[in-house]
């Protein structure tokens, strides 16, 4: 069984991705999560390039990491004759990390055109830079920049540069597909050749410009690499880096590889989401292993099979990576979908075929009209529970009006006037808003809060509008999806109409009703628990 060393560069190479910026606090948080997860080496940044990275290295020393070693990143010296006084190399030492990673040119084209060095000079520069760091007691990871392009261009030159790093004492020789354009067979052949010529552990660092970074990393391991570099969620410059979130489970679950440190694989999904959150990025719902859709089943035939044995349509157990199986409700749903969702909600429909058929038929009719319940599971639950006579709306709306006015100066006002009936009592109120939907939302809350004070906890988190039949112009149907939350839970509801205000109203009412239903259910369960405790005494 091969043992793999995992090297994470999210905090360095990952932050070079467009639109990504991490504070020192964010970087510390991610580093601690990576340590907890079981990553061997965490590359924290380039201390010679900016004050933020220097401060990170200073602060991370305060934490007692259990699994990970921190690495500082830099380049070979600028001048062959001034290695010992090179600012970059000394900044690496000043960071006081147990590991340093430095890159050097292994593509003749870059060495000659970029640095203006001869082959011998480039070789000497690599040798002296690595030797200097080794003499100061650091573990050195040498990143062979542009190795695969360099190997295709002049394999003797590229291998000679690796030999220089090896001779100087580099602990790991990492082969970098810096431009990210190499094909999988090229990676395999080059790594195999290096393994025959280098006696040090060989690593792989790939970029995703050809959408092959994960595959190229895995084939490199198959060819003999034992050190793998990448980032969480594949973030990085241009098209990103190799995605460790996909690589790690593939290594452990598919390739039977061991890792130097025990990986907490069941925390993979939470790690992925944590990094997305700190980077202010929307998680990729279709991401392998950890995406919200990775183990989601929509077609009725698929769901029926999964309920019998999930291996029929799932390549691994979702729980192995901290994810979960999901069954979607849509116009493609069958009775299996409905029964599965009902079971999740604690409703047993296994002995009621007629009811499940009725719900399936009703759902398909609604989705034909434009509703979408795979993104609005709260609305679906209300439909299901109304069919089982567990739910009826907590309020009705005898009357409502929305007024919108604006003038040539673009000054505009929106006012909603509504009547709400709760238990025979009428609440007649009005509210202004930034727009008609906001005015309706404000008026609804204002009317309900006398009866249900808990309504104040609800926050509207997201609001999406989708035009369903664009060719009908301004008379087209629209679908409104609303995501709401109360600080503890989030839920989504849907409304459909030719009138965007009515569609929004449907979704808003479902959101309020769902909260009130859950609140009432929780109170009932609490009373039942208290009764059990009483009778058990």
pLDDT in tens, 367-422: 777 776 766 788 888 888 888 888 899 999 888 888 887 766 666 788 989 999 99
Identify which has the larger pLDDT, 488 or 33: 33
Taking alpha carbons only, the member of 341, 334, 323, 238 closest to residue 287 is 323
Distance CA 13, CA 42 (A): 11
Overall average pLDDT of the 23-27 stretch? 92
353 pLDDT higher than 90: no
Give the pLDDT of residue 94.
95
| 263-289 confidence digits (pLDDT tens) | 999 999 999 988 988 888 878 989 999
What would the pLDDT profile of 121-179 be if each residue is shown by its tens digit? 999 999 999 999 999 999 999 999 999 999 999 999 999 999 999 999 999 999 999 99
pLDDT of residue 289: 95
Q: What is the pLDDT of residue 534?
A: 46
| Residue 100, SS3 per DSSP | strand
CB 247 within 8 A of CB 287: no
Q: Is the pLDDT of residue 75 over 90?
A: yes
For 320-360, the DSSP string reads GGT---EE--STT--HHHHHHHHHHTT---TT-HHHHHHHH
Model pLDDT for residues 199-229, shown as the tens digit of each residue: 999 999 999 999 999 999 999 999 999 999 9
Chain centroid, CA 210 distance in Å = 21
pLDDT at 236 over 90: yes
**Per-residue pLDDT, 401:** 85
Q: For residues 382-410, b (16+ Cβ closer than 10 Å) or e, as one string?
A: bbbbebeeebeebbeeeebebeeeeeeee
How large a percentage of the chain has pLDDT more than 70?
88
Mean pLDDT of 479-492: 86
Residue, of 280 and 25, whose pLDDT is higher: 25
H helix runs in 279-425, sequence order:
300-308, 335-344, 353-368, 377-387
Segment 334-339 shows an average pLDDT of 63
3-state secondary structure of 499: coil
Q: Which homologous superfamily is 3-263 in?
A: Aldolase class I (3.20.20.70)
Q: In this predicted structure, what is the pLDDT of residue 535? A: 45
What DSSP state is assigned to residue 207? B
With beta carbons less than 8 A apart as the criterion, state whether 419 and 443 touch.
Answer: no
Write down the pTM of the prediction.
0.69
Confidence at residue 329, expressed as pLDDT on a 0 to 100 scale:
54
Mean pLDDT of the chain: 87
pLDDT at 300 over 60: no
Question: Residue 433: pLDDT above 80?
Answer: yes
Structural domain boundaries in the chain: 3-263, 296-387, 395-440
| Mean pLDDT calculated for residue range 313-331 | 76
Tokens of 60: 């991370």
């Amino acid at each position: 069984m091969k043992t793999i060393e995992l090297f994470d560069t999210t905090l360095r190479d990952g932050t070079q991705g467009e639109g990504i910026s991490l504070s020192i606090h964010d970087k510390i948080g991610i580093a601690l999560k990576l340590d907890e997860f079981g990553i061997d080496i965490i590359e924290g940044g380039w201390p010679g390039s900016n004050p933020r990275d220097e401060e990170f290295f200073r602060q991370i020393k305060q934490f007692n990491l259990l699994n990970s070693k921190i690495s500082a990143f830099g380049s070979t010296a600028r001048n062959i004759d001034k290695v010992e006084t090179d600012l970059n190399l000394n900044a690496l030492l000043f960071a006081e990390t147990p590991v340093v990673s430095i890159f050097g040119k292994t593509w003749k084209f870059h060495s000659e055109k970029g640095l203006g060095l001869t082959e011998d000079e480039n070789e000497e520069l690599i040798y002296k830079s690595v030797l200097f760091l080794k003499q100061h007691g650091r573990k050195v990871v040498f990143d062979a920049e542009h190795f695969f392009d360099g190997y295709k261009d002049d394999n003797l030159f590229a291998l000679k540069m690796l030999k220089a790093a090896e001779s100087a004492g580099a602990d790991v020789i990492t082969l970098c597909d810096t431009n990210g354009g190499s094909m999988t067979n090229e990676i395999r052949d080059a790594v195999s050749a290096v393994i025959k010529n280098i006696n040090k552990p060989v690593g792989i660092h790939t970029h995703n410009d050809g959408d092959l970074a994960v595959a190229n990393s895995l084939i490199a391991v198959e060819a003999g690499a034992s050190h793998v570099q990448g980032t969480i969620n594949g973030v990085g410059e241009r098209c990103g880096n190799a995605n460790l979130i996909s690589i790690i489970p593939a290594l452990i679950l598919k390739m039977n590889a061991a890792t130097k440190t025990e990986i907490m694989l069941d925390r993979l999904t939470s790690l992925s989401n944590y990094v997305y959150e700190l980077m202010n990025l929307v998680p990729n719902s279709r991401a392998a292993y950890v995406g919200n859709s990775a183990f989601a089943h929509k077609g009725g035939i698929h769901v029926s099979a999964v309920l019998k044995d999930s291996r029929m349509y799932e390549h691994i157990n979702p729980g192995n990576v901290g994810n979960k199986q999901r069954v979607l409700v849509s116009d493609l749903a069958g009775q299996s979908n409905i029964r599965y969702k009902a079971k999740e909600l604690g409703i047993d429909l296994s002995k009621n075929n007629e009811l499940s058929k009725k719900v399936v038929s009703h759902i398909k009719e609604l989705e034909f009209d434009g509703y979408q319940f795979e993104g609005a599971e709260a609305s679906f639950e209300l439909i299901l529970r109304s069919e089982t006579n567990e739910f009826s709306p907590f309020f009705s709306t005898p009357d409502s009006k929305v007024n919108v006015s604006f003038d040539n100066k673009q000054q505009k006002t929106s006012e909603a006037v509504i009547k709400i009936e709760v238990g025979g009592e009428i609440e007649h109120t009005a509210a202004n808003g930034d727009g008609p939907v906001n005015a309706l939302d404000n008026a609804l809350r204002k009317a309900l809060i006398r009866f249900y004070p808990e309504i104040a906890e609800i926050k509207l988190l997201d609001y999406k509008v989708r035009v369903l039949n664009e060719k009908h112009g301004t008379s087209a149907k629209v679908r409104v999806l609303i995501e709401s939350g109360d600080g503890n839970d989030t839920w989504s509801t849907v409304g459909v109409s030719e009138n965007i205000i009515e569609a929004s109203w449907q979704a808003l009412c479902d959101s309020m009703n769902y909260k009130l239903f859950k609140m009432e259910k929780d109170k009932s369960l609490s009373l039942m628990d208290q009764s059990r405790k009483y009778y058990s005494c």
